[in-house]
Copies of this chain bind each other. A is one copy, B any other.
Amino acid sequence: MTYFRVASAYAARHQERITSRELADQAGVTAFLVRKDLGHLKDPDLDLDLELGTRGAGYDVNQLKERLSERLGLTTPWHVAIVGMGRLGRAIADYPSLIDYNFTVRAGFDIDPAASAGTTSVAVHPMSDLGHIVAKEQITIAFLTVPAEVAQEVAGRLGEAGVRGILNFTPTVINPPSGVHVESVDFMAGLKRLSYFLHAPGADDKPGSSR
């Protein structure tokens, strides 16, 4: 996960190789751990022709990226919809990293499609078209950027529309409709973590007991 981010950064700088220690420093963990985790990458294949990294010199950055992509499911392209085209939704619609990782925004939805006309490059549809467009554009993932009050309800409608995954940007805990996987991106969580570290007397550097 984080490894992929680091590997991408190295690739962007045209570095060919990376050692476990470098990866570890960048990812904020120990080098032993990196090697253990990376060892798991080759398990699903079950063929023992490994040598993912070369002894002596580190790992091949591009090969590493490729393997991580496979594991994370980033090799097949995903179609996503953004539900709630407020400022946040529109900002995310043009987020440059999306295309890098094989996600394409196929549609936006809003109760008032006219309000965002001309401000973004994606087509914005009214909520009533949800089921229709999701099927037509083969959308599997939805970004939930609606006001917190309606998040749970909209999530339900997304489930009915046939969406398989929801990325929740609201500060609400939403319990997943059946057959739908929900992940949350909570600004507040990161912010709380930050204030925890700045405030705490014995501020450890490790994630610690912050559940």
Contacts and interface: CB of A to CB of B under 8 A. Distances in A.
B88 A191 contact: no
A141 to B, nearest CB: 6
A29 B73 contact: no
A208 to B, nearest CB: 10
Q: How often does this chain occur in the complex, in copies?
A: 2
Given A26-B175, A173-B9, A195-B72, A187 B1 contact: no
A198 B165 contact: yes
Nearest to A92: B187
A133 interface: no
A136 interface: no
Contacts of A171: 5, 97
A192 B141 contact: no
A1 B193 contact: yes
A72 B71 CA distance: 34
A1 B140 CA distance: 29
**Counting chain B CB atoms within 10 Å of each CB, which of A76, A181, A193, A194 scores highest?**
A194
Contact of A192 (B6, B74, B186, B189): B74
A211 B95 contact: no
Given A1-B210, A188-B97, A165 B197 contact: yes
